[in-house]
Structure 1
Amino acid sequence: MSATSYAASIIETALASEQPILRFGTFTLKSGRSSPYFFNFGLFNTGSLLLALASAFADAILDAYPEIGSSSAGPDTPKVLFGPAYKGIPLVAAIASELARRGRDIGYSYNRKEKKDHGEGGSIVGAPLKGQKVLIVDDVITAGTAIREAHKIVESEGGQTAGIVEALDREERGQGELSTVQEVEKELGVKVTSVVKMRDIVAWLKEKGKLDEMKAMEEYRAKWGVN
């Protein structure tokens, strides 16, 4: 199985960058696990890198929601992108712009860390969430704490979480037999769409003949992975 075109594109962009966005080696995660790779999405921090990431996000979103932002979009199609502060803020703005460039116009909003009590007030900036189907955007779902908080914000504003899209799914077990992503899907009852999955990285390494890195990834997946 080969990586999706947009996953391959973002992997190649990450490896071509002078910044260490995607590295292979030995890295200790917050969980204490020793990982053979580390993907730092915070380093997509130039205009060209953010554009590449937004384009890959747009590809993944259109794969999952083909009618999004179109006149034929059904009632269950997300109408607003929500980016939790702070990492989600530039992501939703860039993704909404890229979708608009492709003729798909969709609202976006984000939350303030502290509620504003002057001017327009409130804790949400951008498109209203009330009565809307909302697609939450994030980089990586690690423990799931941040994404659950984002879901609570959407619900408290009168919106409904219609789905979640993230940059990377590590496809490894959380506290039990399910991955954190699978736990979130089960708990919230929504689909999580990922731009890149661990299997995409393995497939890309195989295609490029990087067998040592692929072997390390396969061994890690055999130990910690989920189907």
Structure 2
Amino acid sequence: MNNLKRKFVKFCFERKILQFGNFNLKSGEKSSFFFNFSLFNTGSDLDKLGRFYATTIIKNNINYSSLFGIAYKGIPIVISTTIALKKYFNINKKYCFNRKEIKQHGEKGRFIGNKLTKNILIIDDVITSGLSIKNTIDTIESNTNLNNLIFSILVALDRRTNKNMSLTHSIKKYNFKIFSIINMQDIVNYIKSNKNLYHYLDNIEIKSSKLFPK
């Protein structure tokens, strides 16, 4: 696990982002843990979060012309990432995000921010099955006149497992690349390297042998 991943997992534990209990995920799965991004809720948190996303973009040399945040949790993330790209890397990019309901007055429409461009980097918090990303791409394609759109995806946590492999394969036709700051294996490795966190291992039912290889 590289230093960026280690620092991000540490940041998540410090802000109590990784929570344990009984949770129903959007994918329909039940889980004993949940990645609660709403707890990144201060100016300092968002500055650090945006920098982690921006650094991941740079390190992976992701090719994109604009950023797109998925409502609702992706909205503060895409804004903080856009700011971090300019603040820390002097890269000035435009961003956009979607409304879940079409606005009929004022600026109207489905999207807020920059007009959509052909090469889009979609920003979100977590990917499990990829269903919300599929729905977002469908929304973008049905609300723009652009052809042959190119998509890349960046999330903080890739928690895909063999349990949702079929759902993940159902979005393969979109041919987009998925990038993440960390995956579940990184969290397991971090816990194993910190004796004070060993008790969390019993709460994580997804063992490393079941994780998608990166």
Query: Could you state the TM-score of these two structures normalised by the residue count of structure 1?
Result: 0.78
- Structure 1 residues not aligned, in runs of 5+: 67-76
Size of the aligned set, in residue pairs, is 207
- Contact (CA 8 Å) 1:9, 1:56: kept in 2 or not? no
Q: Determine what percentage of the aligned residue pairs are the same residue.
A: 33
- 1:46-61 to 2 correspondence within 5 Å? 46-61=42-57
SS at match of 1:164: strand
Which residue of structure 1 aligns with residue 38 of structure 2? 42
Query: Could you state the TM-score of these two structures normalised by the residue count of structure 2?
Result: 0.82
1:143 CA displacement: 3.5
User: Deviation string for 1:122-170 (max 9, x for gaps)?
Assistant: 221111114x200001111234232112111222322724200111111
Within 1, Cα distance between the matches of 2:121 and 2:38? 21
CA root-mean-square deviation: 2.6
Within 1, Cα distance between the matches of 2:111 and 2:135? 14
- Contact (CA 8 Å) 1:164, 1:193: kept in 2 or not? yes
**Is residue 65 of structure 2 the alignment partner of residue 103 of structure 1?**
no
Q: Which moved more, 1:102-111 or 1:8-17?
A: 8-17
Within 2, Cα distance between the matches of 1:185 and 1:204? 30
Summarize the Cα distance change of 1:122–1:11 in structure 2 as closer, same or farther, 3 Å threshold: same
- Contact (CA 8 Å) 2:64, 2:121: kept in 1 or not? yes
2:78 to 55, 67, 92: 92
Within 2, Cα distance between the matches of 1:21 and 1:133? 31
Which residue of structure 1 aligns with residue 140 of structure 2? 154
1:215 CA displacement: 4.9
Q: AA paired with 1:38?
A: F
Summarize the Cα distance change of 1:111–1:214 in structure 2 as closer, same or farther, 3 Å threshold: closer
**Is residue 123 of structure 2 the alignment partner of residue 137 of structure 1?**
yes
**Is residue 162 of structure 2 the alignment partner of residue 173 of structure 1?**
yes
1:27 CA displacement: 3.7
